[in-house]
Amino acid sequence: MSQSFEPVVIGFTCNWCSYRAADTAGTARVKYAPNVRLIRLMCSGRLDPTFVIKALAGGADGVMITGCHPGDCHYIDQNYKALRRFLLLRRTLKGLGIDPGRIKLIWASAAEGMRLAAEINQFVEEIRILGPLGWPRWDKEVTQNENIKEVA
């Protein structure tokens, strides 16, 4: 099991720094783990904790949140908002029995392609050690009731 386990990691990136860092890594042909699926947001401050919870409930083993370095936010200070949400969310998830190590906040500037790639690789390895999260797919659960409409 552990040998064939490939972590599914969702990575949220911000348009101005971390997405461009990933772009820089790509342009420079820097390899990073293909386990991460990057989703671009305009800002880490756009990150609704719902996105993270939905990812975990939908089969992700870990979620990476990335943004501009403190003080560098394109929208002045929204990355601090992301930081506060992240810290609150991590505690809440811990109370639900989800290892706090399954979500991670990483700051990366547009120039830090190498660093972001290294951080991604490291996070994927950390999730590999934690193993699959395996949250039941409640949204796919079919009840025996004949009246219920199946939700895709």
Binding track, positions 24-63, relative to other proteins; x by CB under 8 A:
------------------------xxx-xxx-xx------
Residue that has been written with the tokens 């290892």 in this structure: 99
What does R_g of the chain's alpha carbons equal in angstroms?
17
Query: Which residues are CB-contacts of 10 (< 8 A; sequence separation ≥ 6)?
Result: 36, 37, 39, 52, 55, 60, 62, 63, 64
Number of residues that bind other proteins (CB under 8 A): 34
Q: Does 92 bind other proteins (CB under 8 A)?
A: yes
Question: Nearer to other proteins by C-beta: 75 or 135?
Answer: 135
Residue 38: phi, psi to the nearest 5?
A: -85, 135
If one asks whether residue 83 binds other proteins (CB under 8 A), the answer comes out as: yes
One residue of 28, 91, 111, 140 binding other proteins per CB under 8 A: 91
Element containing residue 121 per DSSP (H, E):
helix 113-130
Q: At 151, list the tokens.
A: 């939700």
Residues within the interface to other proteins (CB under 8 A): 48-50, 52-54, 56-57, 70, 77, 80-81, 83-85, 87-89, 91-92, 94-98, 135-136, 138, 141, 143, 145, 147-149
